[in-house]
Amino acid sequence: MDSPILQVQSLIKQFRQSDSVITAVNRVNFTVESGEFVAIVGASGSGKSTFLQLCAGLMTPNSGSIKILGQEITELSPDKLAQFRGRFLGMIFQKHNLIPQLTAKENIEIPAIMMDKAPSSYEHSFMKLVEALKIKDRLHHLPSELSGGQQQRVAIARALMNRPQILFADEPTGNLDRANADEVLSLLLKMQKDFNQTLIMVTHDESIAQRADRIFKMEDGCLSQISH
Amino acid sequence: MEHIKRSVQTAFHKIKHSFKEFLPFFLAIFLVQCIFFTVLLSFQSNEAHLKQETEASYSYHILVTGLYEDEMLILKENRRAVFLNEFYYTPLTIKEYTSPNGDPSYDMTVKLLTGNKDYGIFSLFRDDSLRANYEAMLYKYGDIIGEASDHVSIYLSPLYLLEESTASLATARNLLIVAVFLICFLMLFVLYRLYVSRQTFSFGIFSTFGADSKRLQENAFTQLYLIALFTLLPAYYLSALICFAFYTAGASAFYFSWFSLKNWLVLLLVMAPLLLLVVRTPIKLLSRKPVCELLQAADASDLVSSPRQSAPLVQKGFPFGYEALSFWRFRKHHIVSACVSVLLCALLVLGTLIGDVYQANKDMESKALSDFTVQFRGINSVSDSQYESLASANGIKNAHRVYPEALLTKYHSLLLVDDSLIASNVGFANDTAAGVSYTGDARIIAAAYDTLAYYKSLYQIEGNPDALLDGPNRVIIGSSYQNRDTFSYSVGDTVRVAIPMYDEEGELVLNGDKLPSELETGEGLWQQMYERISYQLVTLEIVGIIEDYPSGMNGVPLLLSTDTYQALTGESVTAKTVSVSVDTSSAENYDLAFDELSRICAVLGNATVSISGASFRAEIEKNYCYSQFIPTLSLLLFLFFPLLWVYAQNAIAQRREEEYKILYSLSVPPKKMRALCLASSLMMLPICLSILLATFGVTVLVLHFVNHVLPNIFHISVAAVGGIAPSLWGYGAIIAALLLSFLLSFFIPYFHYQSAKRSFSLKP
Ligand SMILES: Nc1ncnc2c1ncn2[C@@H]1O[C@H](COP(=O)(O)OP(=O)(O)OP(=O)(O)O)[C@@H](O)[C@H]1O
Ligand SMILES: [Mg+2]
């Protein structure tokens, strides 16, 4: 087996309010192998989203190391980090985080445009993606004209657009009903298989977590494996 | 290439898509281009004017006067040329007249062939008798005029100097463009920062999916540059219209070409670095922040007034206390807007003032222009008859002998004014022995009847100035000092000039053993001088008072008759030159006067004329319409003011729309919401007032600078400019803009509240 795709060591993230310090992520060690599906569960406010954003390079930790594909991302400059994210990482936010002024299609195309891909090069995969996510007939709507679940699926399509090697998903199925949630999960798992993607997912859904290769639990900022 | 095409396409879509968002940039970039084009076009018009007038008035480059016949022939036949390609010039005209000794004398004008305009050309005139000219000319052509040789003079016509005049125009233009560039940069920068602060969330998403700062900058630049392309031509023609308007107002022609690829390219070239600089820093700063912070900016946590930071500042209470918190939350915006506004208002007022100062100084200068100087050699002083023969020449407005002047400064002399007459704001208190006042500098001028006539033509002189020459110890004196009405004497009063006494060794005679302290200045120095130095007082009777004498290094003028001058200063009064100005009412007068003066000089034998061309230059400069151009330019810059305010207030209100939604859903009654908006506009009131006050402060400072600092510290002679009268319309514009922004700070939030309300009623 080659080296792990993601390796986190004694990661600490603290938020300082005027008089108190919240340790959202507390000395976390975490290793994920390439192609794995890892689920993270935990109570609300336990630090799951914070941890995910740290791993995705969207937040800077107070201390600790995050190695992705052998690259220590905490040492990258903001610009290099952005390029790195664009090439290797995908992110599905807990709140869908679509740009309100852009249509669904434009929102989905953002990663491709940012990586300077010609439209012809991603046309095909784009169509397949939106078909699978059942948002093909909603492409020219603004986010405000979409339902919560549709917005979520647009956000998922956006995260998958560049076929990232690691996909971080923060409760991707939170807004979906059972049937839709299962379908979206199947799609994510299919992508994971087809492109040997690594999937790291925060979820409250027990049945989804059960399908993961390994399950971790977040408790007051501390991460521990509870199954494999 | 593919990449550029794609990013242009993306930018185009983005602009088309969110046109409303980019509208302020359309306006701002349009304005910037208008400003640049106005500068460019007006200077091009000036250059065209300069060229046209010069070429119309002068067909020759060089004028050689006083040639003997053999010299004339050498030049005429170009005998110096050995090869064909040495024919550098063609003689244009040759005039012959008879010199006092009966020999013929010649004036020749010469046109240089193209490409030969360098110093080397003067070697052609190198002949034994011409060598002096040549060498002097090589040294510096400005200096040789009139004094180069005992019988020959060489003059360079404005046509020869055209390139230099053009270059100095270009320098002025470039300096102005740099200044305009800086101001425009600042304005666009402030605007773009606001834009970025509204777009943080989008930038956060872009960054999440791989956009680095270079990419973001590139996108932003492409968008703005595309806008610049769209607005280029409208801006060009609008600024042409603006130029046309103010040139017409200044009764001058405006030269303009409808199709000018060069101008358009120049502007696009200027816009590139400008826009690059504008987008660079805000995006750099933005992309340095962790992405999650950018994303957070979009959620409501940022949108609700945060009492945590501002609770100590104001007591809570709805709507005023609540609104005060919001005001505090956006304090940075308000401060930046206010500072930029002060800058713009100051620029506007400055523009109107500079226009006025420029006009006042041109008016002042135009009265004292000297077009020719006649220099005498080998005499003690120009006699009345010599002067009269020159003054009789046709086509001249004024001729006067230039007499020496003495400056009474520092240790040299004091001007004392009879104590009962003083209402001065400078000077000693009345407790000194003599009860005297002083002026900083006094300028003692010897005046014969011609000089007196000259001064009478320049200034308003109250009293009976002609009486100056009727008896000893009489004076015509200026009543202002440092451009301020300082002395309130009337005709018939006496002033005393205090002249320090020196002993046999030339040392100052002191009352004690100490000199006035080197460290003292102003009043203190004068006090010490008066106490420590022995003065001899000479009493002069005032026969005339100069009301409008502009003060510079010249101080207060004291016109004395030549005899009185000599008695007072101990210097002999001699004049070696006569200064002549042309009657510009007719265009031919210039040539006519020169011809006549040359003829008279030839008859006198020991005098030569030199040309300064001051009237010609002044006439051309008048056509530049600077006094209209400068206020126009500052007014254009001022237009950023409303643009910026509307944009800033809109940006703030837009960010608060979510907050209004929450307030609405919490059932805050409309009356209270109106009160909230009223509160927000009332909070703008102190900002508006302080902008106005700051602007007024700047006006006072500028007036002080022009009227006191320039003449006093930099010794630059300027005409006095009075008060804020010329900038009243500027103030009108400022007050209108402030009123507008005050009203808008009510209506814009209210409008956004309404639209927040509507968004609720749309949802089922
Ligand atoms: N920007 C911030 N500033 C201060 N505290 C924060 C910030 N972001 C998160 N926190 C705190 O850090 C802790 C962890 O937050 P996080 O969002 O990671 O929880 P979570 O596990 O994702 O919860 P949920 O399941 O509700 O999404 C919380 O106590 C939260 O209040
Ligand atoms: Mg969370």
- For Cα atoms B2, B7, B12, give the angle at the middle one, nearest 5 degrees: 125
Decide if pLDDT at B430 tops 50: no
The answer, yes or no, to whether the previous bond of B319 is cis (omega within 30 of 0) is: yes
Decide if pLDDT at A145 tops 80: yes
The CATH code of domain A35-61+74-227 reads 3.40.50.300
pLDDT band at B83 (very low <50, low <70, confident <90, very high): low
Name the strand (E) or helix (H) holding B372.
strand B372-376
B126 CB neighbour count, 10 Å cutoff: 13
Q: Which residue intervals of chain A are DSSP H helices?
A: 48-55, 78-88, 104-114, 119-132, 148-160, 178-194, 206-210
For B485-505, how does the pLDDT look when each residue is reduced to its tens digit (9 = 90+)? 767 777 887 777 777 777 788
Q: Determine the Cα–Cα distance for residues B762 and B764; give it in Å rounded to an integer.
A: 6
Decide if pLDDT at B764 tops 80: no
Chain A residue with minimum CA distance to B199: A99
Segment B178-196 shows an average pLDDT of 92
Looking at residue B115, what is its pLDDT? 54
Looking at residue B240, what is its pLDDT? 95
**In this structure, are residues B103 and B112 in contact, taking their beta carbons and an 8 Å threshold?**
no
Q: Could you give the percent of chain B with pLDDT greater than 90?
A: 17
The domain locations on chain A are 35-61+74-227
Cα B645 to its chain centre, rounded Å, is 29
Looking at residue B431, what is its pLDDT? 30
Higher pLDDT, residue B639 or B668: B639
For B89-145, how does the pLDDT look when each residue is reduced to its tens digit (9 = 90+)? 778 888 887 766 677 878 888 887 765 455 455 555 544 434 444 444 444 333 333
Interface ipTM: 0.92
pTM of full prediction above 0.95: no
**In this structure, are residues A144 and A174 in contact, taking their beta carbons and an 8 Å threshold?**
no
Q: Which of A48, A89, A106, A110 to mutate to test the interface with B (most CBs of B within 10 A)?
A: A110
**In this structure, are residues B677 and B749 in contact, taking their beta carbons and an 8 Å threshold?**
yes
- φ, ψ at B608 (rounded to 5°): -130, 150
Segment A91-102 shows an average pLDDT of 85
For B379-392, how does the pLDDT look when each residue is reduced to its tens digit (9 = 90+)? 788 888 888 888 88
Which among A53, A80, A111 is the nearest to B209, CB-wise? A111
Decide if pLDDT at B249 tops 60: yes
Q: What is the DSSP string of B213-265?
A: HHHHHHHHHHHHHHHHHHHHHHHHHHHHHHHHHHHHHTT------S--HHHHH
Looking at residue B567, what is its pLDDT? 82
With 0-12 CB in 10 A as exposed, 13-18 as middle and 19+ as buried, what is A208?
buried
Higher pLDDT, residue B317 or B259: B259
For B557-612, how does the pLDDT look when each residue is reduced to its tens digit (9 = 90+)? 888 898 888 887 777 788 888 988 888 777 788 888 888 888 888 777 777 787 77
Query: Where is mean pLDDT largest: B72-86, B103-117, B167-181?
Result: B167-181
Q: Could you give the percent of chain A with pLDDT greater than 90?
A: 48
Q: What is the separation, in whole angstroms, between the first and last Cα of chain B?
A: 49
**In this structure, are residues B350 and B186 in contact, taking their beta carbons and an 8 Å threshold?**
no
Q: What does the H/E/C string look like for B433-466?
A: CCCCCCCCCEEEEEECHHHHHHHHHHCCEEECHH
B618 CB neighbour count, 10 Å cutoff: 15
Query: Where is mean pLDDT largest: A198-202, B3-7, B311-315, B401-405?
Result: A198-202
With an 8 Å Cβ cutoff, are B209 and A78 in contact? no
For B19-60, how does the pLDDT look when each residue is reduced to its tens digit (9 = 90+)? 888 999 999 999 999 999 999 999 999 999 999 988 888 888
For B703-759, how does the pLDDT look when each residue is reduced to its tens digit (9 = 90+)? 888 777 776 666 666 666 666 677 788 888 889 989 988 888 889 988 888 888 887
Higher pLDDT, residue B458 or B189: B189
Q: Which two tokens stand for residue B278?
A: 């504008």
Looking at residue B131, what is its pLDDT? 43
B59-156 with B371-402+575-611: one CATH topology? yes
Higher pLDDT, residue A56 or B311: A56
For B269-323, how does the pLDDT look when each residue is reduced to its tens digit (9 = 90+)? 999 999 999 999 999 988 888 888 888 754 433 434 444 444 443 445 677 777 7
- φ, ψ at B411 (rounded to 5°): -75, -10
**In this structure, are residues B216 and A86 in contact, taking their beta carbons and an 8 Å threshold?**
no
Q: Determine the Cα–Cα distance for residues B21 and B15; give it in Å rounded to an integer.
A: 8
Higher pLDDT, residue B80 or B541: B541
| Least confident stretch, B197-201, B457-461, B490-494, B735-739 | B490-494
Handedness of CA B14, B18, B23, B24 (dihedral sign): negative
For B515-555, how does the pLDDT look when each residue is reduced to its tens digit (9 = 90+)? 777 666 666 666 677 777 777 777 888 899 888 776 554 56
Residues of A contacting chain B (CB within 8 angstroms) = 18, 53, 56-60, 78-80, 82-83, 85-87, 91, 93, 95, 97-99, 101-102, 110-111, 113-116, 118, 158, 161-162
Q: Which two tokens stand for residue B157?
A: 């016509």
Bridge partners of residue A28, in order along the sequence: A11
Q: Which of B3, B205, B303, B657 to mutate to test the interface with A (most CBs of A within 10 A)?
A: B205
**Which CB contacts under 8 angstroms, 24+ apart, belong to B89-94?**
B89/B61, B89/B62, B89/B113, B89/B116, B89/B121, B89/B124, B92/B59, B92/B60, B93/B60
Bridge partners of residue B646, in order along the sequence: none
Mean pLDDT taken over chain B: 78
Looking at residue B197, what is its pLDDT? 83
**In this structure, are residues A95 and A49 in contact, taking their beta carbons and an 8 Å threshold?**
no
Q: Write out chain B residues lying below 8 Å of A95, CB-based.
A: 299
- Residue B447, CA distances (Å) to A31, B384, B461, B468 in order: 101, 13, 14, 9
For the domain made up of B59-156, give the CATH fold. Alpha-Beta Plaits (3.30.70)
Query: Where is mean pLDDT largest: A122-136, B260-274, B456-470?
Result: B260-274
Q: Which two tokens stand for residue B299?
A: 């959620």
Looking at residue A14, what is its pLDDT? 92
pLDDT band at B425 (very low <50, low <70, confident <90, very high): very low
Strand A6-16 to A89-92 pairing: unpaired
- Best mutation site among A14, A15, A28 for ligand 1, i.e. most ligand atoms within 8 A of its Cβ? A15
With an 8 Å Cβ cutoff, are B308 and A18 in contact? yes
Looking at residue A64, what is its pLDDT? 93
**In this structure, are residues A92 and A156 in contact, taking their beta carbons and an 8 Å threshold?**
yes
pLDDT band at A40 (very low <50, low <70, confident <90, very high): very high
Q: Which listed ligand is nearest to A47 at the C-alpha? A: 1
Q: Determine the Cα–Cα distance for residues B87 and B461; give it in Å rounded to an integer.
A: 57
Q: Which of B212, B288, B657, B762 to mutate to test the interface with A (most CBs of A within 10 A)?
A: B212
Looking at residue B483, what is its pLDDT? 65
Decide if pLDDT at B148 tops 50: no
The CATH code of domain B371-402+575-611 reads 3.30.70
pLDDT band at B259 (very low <50, low <70, confident <90, very high): very high
Q: Which two tokens stand for residue B110?
A: 């010469």
Helix axes A78-88, B200-208, angle to 10 degrees: 60
Looking at residue B394, what is its pLDDT? 85
Looking at residue B416, what is its pLDDT? 57
Measured in Å, residue A66 CA sits from the centre of ligand 1 at 20
Measured in Å, residue A8 CA sits from the centre of ligand 1 at 19
For chain B, counts of helices (H) and of strands (E): 25, 18
- What dihedral do alpha carbons A61, A65, A66, A67 form, nearest 10°? 160
Higher pLDDT, residue B419 or B185: B185
For A63-78, how does the pLDDT look when each residue is reduced to its tens digit (9 = 90+)? 999 999 999 999 999 8
Q: Which two tokens stand for residue B732?
A: 């009108």
- Best mutation site among A13, A19, A22 for ligand 1, i.e. most ligand atoms within 8 A of its Cβ? A22
With an 8 Å Cβ cutoff, are B210 and A83 in contact? yes
Which residues line the pocket of ligand 1, CB cutoff 6 A?
A 15, 22, 24, 42, 44-50, 94
With 0-12 CB in 10 A as exposed, 13-18 as middle and 19+ as buried, what is B760?
exposed
Name the strand (E) or helix (H) holding B73.
helix B69-77
Q: Determine the Cα–Cα distance for residues B456 and B547; give it in Å rounded to an integer.
A: 11
